[in-house]
């Protein structure tokens, strides 16, 4: 007798399992009738969406505030300033330009070619944000890319975290397609904030059920939910990818994109 395909279980009075069952379903003969039975899916798990953190309050203390711009005069921008001797990066006020979200710019140009609140990264102006505060970002972007400054001297190069993030474009990939970030080696499609925004970020190796602190820790196809790596699944009947043995029910939460769910162990529907 063949085993059910991954993600399915046999119904009652099962007599035979047919060979070659379709992925996501299991075909059985019971009392002369064919049945396609799949694991249950919860398409409305609720859960709400978390409030955005107070990013400005989470910025590093210095001469000015990266996110609010407080401490700088009109026409100035609060940007990271690198000290090559101390290998420290601190906020400082510099003359600003006019470039907005996505406008072309020259990295580390003085004066800056980007408007106040923006930093030139990868040749484009990106808004600065702190504490993963996605509410500080322009539409279609989110605060998920940490800014790291590379300092170079006669002893070599050192990467120094600036303790500030950048708002990069979202909606650029599909979390249920393992190949959707193939053009960015070392990155995989992840949920990057509680609104369901997705983007290609660094891929981790964490497995389902492992403790995590950030989306980057979990491996491809997994998301860091409540401090634990959970598999993402297609939240529709017999959808693939589905949840594996012991990973629970595929539940679409408010924080997930349309059609995407989380494999949730011990899920109990809210009957209220």
pLDDT one-digit tens code per residue, 149-160: 888 777 778 888
Q: Cα–Cα distance between 64 and 68 in angstroms, integer?
A: 8
| Confidence band of 267 (pLDDT split at 50, 70, 90) | confident
Question: Can you tell me whether residue 29 is helix, strand or coil?
Answer: strand
> Using CA atoms, how far apart are residues 20 and 165, in angstroms rounded to an integer?
49
Confidence of residue 203 (pLDDT cuts 50, 70, 90): confident
| pLDDT confidence of residue 95 | 97
pLDDT at 47: 87
Taking only the tens place, the pLDDT of each residue in 164-196 is 999 999 999 999 998 999 999 999 999 999 999
Average of per-residue pLDDT across 7-11: 35
Comparison of pLDDT for 235 and 2, the residue scoring more: 235
Asked whether the predicted pLDDT for residue 248 surpasses 80, the reply is yes
Only one residue has tokens 């979390």, namely: 175
DSSP state letter for 211: B
Average pLDDT taken over every residue of the chain:
84
Query: In this predicted model, what pLDDT tens digit does every residue of 43-99 receive, in sequence order?
Result: 888 888 989 999 999 999 999 999 999 999 999 999 999 887 777 899 999 999 999
Instruction: State residue 208's pLDDT score.
Output: 92
Q: Can you give the pLDDT at residue 145?
A: 94
198 confidence band (pLDDT: 50, 70, 90): very high
Q: How far is CA 145 from CA 165, 183, 213, 261, in A?
A: 6, 18, 15, 24
Which residue, 210, 212, 232, 213, is CA-closest to 221? 232
Average pLDDT over residues 220-225: 92
Look at 4 and 91; give whichever has higher pLDDT.
91
**Pairing, β 198-202 against β 187-191:** antiparallel
22 pLDDT more than 70: no
């Amino acid at each position: 007798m063949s085993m059910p395909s991954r993600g399915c279980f046999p119904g009652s009075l099962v007599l035979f399992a047919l060979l070659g069952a379709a992925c996501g379903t299991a075909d059985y003969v019971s009392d002369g009738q064919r049945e396609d039975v799949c694991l249950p899916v919860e398409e409305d798990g609720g859960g709400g969406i978390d409030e955005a953190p107070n990013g400005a309050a989470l910025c590093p203390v210095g001469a000015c505030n990266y996110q609010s711009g407080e401490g700088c005069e009109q026409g100035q921008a609060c940007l990271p300033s690198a000290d090559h001797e101390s290998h420290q990066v601190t906020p400082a006020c510099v003359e600003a330009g006019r470039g907005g979200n996505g406008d072309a710019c020259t990295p580390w140009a003085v004066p800056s070619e980007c408007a106040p609140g923006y930093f030139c990264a990868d040749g484009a102006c990106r808004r600065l944000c702190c504490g993963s505060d996605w509410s500080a970002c322009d539409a279609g972007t989110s605060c998920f890319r940490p800014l790291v400054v590379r300092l170079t001297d006669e002893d070599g190069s050192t990467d120094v975290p600036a303790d500030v993030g950048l708002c990069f474009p979202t909606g650029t990939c599909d979390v249920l397609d393992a190949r959707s970030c193939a053009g960015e080696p070392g990155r995989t499609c992840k949920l990057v904030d509680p609104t369901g925004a997705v983007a290609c970020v660094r891929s981790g190796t964490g497995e389902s059920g492992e403790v995590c602190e950030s989306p980057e820790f979990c491996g491809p196809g997994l998301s860091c939910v409540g401090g634990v790596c959970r598999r993402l699944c297609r939240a529709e009947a017999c959808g693939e990818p589905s949840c594996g043995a012991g990973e629970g029910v595929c539940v679409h939460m408010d924080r997930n994109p349309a059609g995407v769910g989380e494999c949730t162990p011990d899920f109990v529907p809210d009957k209220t």
